Amino acid sequence: MASLQKIRNHGPLLIVIIGLAMLAFILSDFLNNSTSIFRENPNKLGSIAGEVVQSNDFNAAQQFYEAYPYALVGLYGSEAQREALGAHMNTITELQQKAQEGNLDEEAAVELEKQWKEAWDGIKGLANEIKESTNFNQLLWNEFVTYYTFKPQAEKIGMDISYDEYERAMQVFGLPYGAPEHITKGIYLQQKYMALLRNTLAVNSLEAEFAFNSRQQAISAEYVMLPYDAIADSLVEVSEKDIKALYDQYKSQFRTEPMRRIEYTVINYEPSEADMLKEAEFMASIQEDFRTANDIEALLKSYSDAEYQDIKVFAIDAVPAEFAEFVANKEAKVGDCSEILLNEHVYSMARIMALDKKNVSLAIVRRVVDPSEPTKVDLEYEYRQLVREHATVEEFEQMAREKGLPLQYATVQELTQKIGGLQDCRKVVLKAFETAEGNACDDAIKCGDHIVIAAVVEANDEHYMPLDKVREGLRIMAANDAKAKYIEQEMNVNGLDEAAQVWGQSVQSVARMSLADNYPDPAVVGAAFAQGENAVSGLIKGDRGMYIVKTGARLDGAEEYTEEAAQNEKARLSQAIGTKFQQAIQELTNNVRVKINDLERF
């Protein structure tokens, strides 16, 4: 009973303890669940515009091109590769017809099967060429990006693909039925949407005539400009709110992708003393045979692991530099053999096979000393330790200076494939994205025949440049806006002469200002034509300063608007529209939010 009473007395405490235990159990199960909000689903490769791309979908795309290599060639092959594909497909079609006709004896059936295999292997070879010349996984990923970029745009305007269009697309692109939807629909939706957008940007006759007349219309003008930088910054006030407002206004211009700005140095693998000694011993071991062999050609061929061996005739004045002194010796004669020579990391020796006043025949053995695998491992370990001991950017830079290592700079994004002239540098990119800003990457990374060590100078994981990175430019813009208001309030003037006197600036003249010009400022050009002839403006806020402009006489051109002029104008405007069209498509793709969870696949 006493024990029961104790339990009753501590009831509230026991409830709390039991509740905490149950909560811990639930949280443990929740956090260990791979699909929880705290952990990415391992099957989720990434997302595009909010649409999830599963690893299974990506794998299915890979398997599709494995099963149908002709689809890969048809979509991404060069003109020559597609022509070769057409030849192979024609061969397969002819062989199918022969097989369907029947009446093949065993020998003919074997030959038909052989030809079929050769044609199919040819198609697979073309597909492999494309895979080897591109980052195949990135190519597949870009197909998903295309689909999920244009799909929502098409849905907004009710655009879809009819059955006939789908049939035609399958034929045009050489795709088999059952191809993944993101490939078939993605390509066609992109083309259909872009064709619609392009047609909305066509040039009509009225636009061409207006543009022509705009260039014909002109006016003479004089102006005075007070530059913003003539006003001291201390006279105006720029608040954080002003800067933030400009950032929000121009945020679309700060669009970017997650990036790392790195500084790095490339280190060549160098042979060690042990490597040099090993090759010196090899040369010493063959030296006597090289001096005395009767069949020198057979001996040279036996040196299969030597970098270069041959008998070659040289003009006396064109002997390789390392053997020039040996051949020039007055006592040199047939059969003489040079000493073993070392030039940087190359051992060599030569034997005189024939000699006259003009020419010499030399048997030559050269041996390039390459760093051995143990040497490479030791060198990688040495630099790995160095970057771990010099963990910050400042320490990394100091270490590079002390070792005489030149630093290079690069900006890399998540899918960057090349850094300068480096080969196989994806590991550098991946390591950079694992490293915090201001730190050295904690590894020495093998890139082809080089070692790369790097540090992250700047990191941005957002899709817009952070305010701190563009603050100074926005501060200047905000200051210019404030200075424009200051000039209006404190330095307002009437007329050109008063502006020149009060502002301390000279009067500038423009003999001919047309609507097609941006000089001296678009705002000035617009104001000049708006106010007409022989008029004086008020204060005009421009990009570089405040203006007052006085117009003179109209100077309209006398060029006639002929049919030829109309065609030229349309061509000029079409070219400009083409540029804007590309900018519109680029803006569309730039605004698609893309996230990749498994960067190593790319």
**Of the candidate ranges 115-129, 318-332, 578-592, the one whose mean pLDDT is the lowest:** 578-592
- Decide if 149 contacts 587 (C-beta within 8 A): no
Domain boundary among 325, 342, 368: 368
Same domain, 304 and 223: no
Same domain, 226 and 279: no
Q: Is residue 122 part of a domain?
A: yes
- Decide if 196 contacts 159 (C-beta within 8 A): yes
Confidence of residue 198 (pLDDT cuts 50, 70, 90): confident
The average pLDDT across 233-252 equals: 94
69-83, 234-248, 506-520: range with highest mean pLDDT: 234-248
User: CB within 8 A of 525, min separation 6: which ones?
Assistant: 513, 514, 515, 517, 518, 519
Task: CATH number of the domain at 564, please.
Answer: 1.10.4030
Cα gap 114→104, rounded to integer Å: 14
- If one counts the domains in the chain, the total is 5
Dihedral of alpha carbons 427, 428, 430, 435, sign: positive
Domain boundary among 460, 484, 515: 460
Cα gap 189→175, rounded to integer Å: 15
Q: DSSP 3-state assignment of 314?
A: strand
The pLDDT score that the predictor gives to residue 10 is 45
Q: Is residue 514 part of a domain?
A: yes
Q: Is residue 2 part of a domain?
A: no
**Of the candidate ranges 184-193, 247-256, 299-308, the one whose mean pLDDT is the lowest:** 299-308
Catalogue the long-range contacts made by 497-502 (C-beta closer than 8 Å, 24 or more residues apart).
Answer: 499/224, 499/226, 499/548, 500/224
Q: Is residue 507 part of a domain?
A: yes
13-17, 316-320, 479-483: range with highest mean pLDDT: 479-483
Range of the domain at 313: 273-368
- Decide if 445 contacts 451 (C-beta within 8 A): yes
Same domain, 266 and 389: yes
The pLDDT score that the predictor gives to residue 157 is 86
- Edge to edge, the sheet with strand 594-596 lists 51-54, 44-48, 594-596
The average pLDDT across 294-311 equals: 75
Indicate if the pLDDT at residue 12 is higher than 80: no
The pLDDT score that the predictor gives to residue 230 is 95
Cα gap 194→216, rounded to integer Å: 34
The pLDDT score that the predictor gives to residue 254 is 87
User: CB within 8 A of 366, min separation 6: which ones?
Assistant: 306, 307, 308, 309, 346, 347, 348
Same domain, 453 and 529: no
Cα gap 465→247, rounded to integer Å: 10
Q: Is residue 23 part of a domain?
A: no
- Decide if 69 contacts 127 (C-beta within 8 A): yes
pLDDT in tens, 363-394: 999 888 999 999 999 999 999 999 999 999 99
Confidence of residue 41 (pLDDT cuts 50, 70, 90): low
Cα gap 371→274, rounded to integer Å: 9
Q: Is residue 32 part of a domain?
A: no
For residue 390, the 8-state DSSP code is S
Confidence of residue 29 (pLDDT cuts 50, 70, 90): very low
The pLDDT score that the predictor gives to residue 110 is 85
Same domain, 303 and 403: no
Residue 239: Cβ within 10 Å count? 10
Confidence of residue 16 (pLDDT cuts 50, 70, 90): very low
Task: CATH number of the domain at 422, please.
Answer: 3.10.50
Phi, psi of 305 (to 5 degrees): -95, 5
Q: At 477, list the tokens.
A: 């813009």
Tell me the residue type at 280. Answer: A
Cα gap 88→93, rounded to integer Å: 9
**Of the candidate ranges 44-48, 192-196, 435-439, the one whose mean pLDDT is the lowest:** 192-196
The number of angstroms, rounded, from the C-alpha of 89 to the middle of its chain's C-alpha atoms is 35
The average pLDDT across 459-468 equals: 87
Q: Which residues of 510-542 are buried (b: 16+ CB within 10 A; e: fewer)?
A: beebbbebeebbebbbebbbebeeeeebebbbb
Same domain, 506 and 477: yes
The pLDDT score that the predictor gives to residue 252 is 83
The average pLDDT across 236-261 equals: 91
Same domain, 453 and 600: no
Same domain, 335 and 351: yes
The rounded mean pLDDT for the chain is 85
Q: Is residue 225 part of a domain?
A: yes
Same domain, 53 and 189: yes
Same domain, 194 and 57: yes
Tell me the residue type at 119. Answer: A
Same domain, 298 and 329: yes
The pLDDT score that the predictor gives to residue 167 is 77
Cα gap 137→143, rounded to integer Å: 10
Domain boundary among 118, 133, 148: 133
Same domain, 349 and 456: no
Cα gap 504→500, rounded to integer Å: 5
Indicate if the pLDDT at residue 81 is higher than 50: yes
Tell me the residue type at 148. Answer: Y
Indicate if the pLDDT at residue 222 is higher than 60: yes
